[in-house]
Amino acid sequence: MTKEKEAPKEPLSKEELTRRKAEITAFHKEQIKFLSTQFDYEDLLAKIEEARLRRVMAMMRHAQVINPEPEESEAQEPTPRPAMSATRTLKKEDA
């Protein structure tokens, strides 16, 4: 295994602490460029998905206007299936 940076056991001096803060701040500022680019990318993806959803919803509304669903009073009731008889007989062969 590779050795990772180990945390120093003794407290940092003021100069060392200031240097570390500056390093962390510089790192964060550098990352902001990438994160803002990623934010713009994901925001654009979300806008594309919203546009697709609006288009599909419009298509569904258009289809419902062209071919409305029949109302319940006009809808045909399904024909009831005949009940099965309790006893079943086999077909007899003519010899």
Query: Could you tell me if residue 61 is inside a domain?
Result: yes
Find the mean pLDDT for residues 12-22: 89
Amino acid letter, 34: F
Query: Could you tell me if residue 76 is inside a domain?
Result: no
pTM of structure? 0.48
Q: Is 27 helix (H, G, I), strand (E, B) or coil?
A: helix
Buried b (16+ CB within 10 A) or exposed e, 35-74: eeeeeeeeeeeeeeeeeeeeeeeeeeeeeeeeeeeeeeee
Q: Does residue 14 register a pLDDT over 80? A: yes
- Can you give the residue range of the structural domain that contains 56? 39-69
- Report the C-alpha gap between 50 and 42 in whole angstroms: 12
Query: Could you tell me if residue 47 is inside a domain?
Result: yes
Query: Could you tell me if residue 43 is inside a domain?
Result: yes
Query: Could you tell me if residue 7 is inside a domain?
Result: no
Query: Could you tell me if residue 74 is inside a domain?
Result: no
Q: Is 14 helix (H, G, I), strand (E, B) or coil?
A: helix
Confidence of residue 94 (pLDDT cuts 50, 70, 90): confident
Confidence of residue 1 (pLDDT cuts 50, 70, 90): very low
Query: Could you tell me if residue 5 is inside a domain?
Result: no
pLDDT: is 23 or 3 the higher one?
A: 23
Query: Could you tell me if residue 31 is inside a domain?
Result: no
Structurally, the chain folds into a number of domains equal to 1
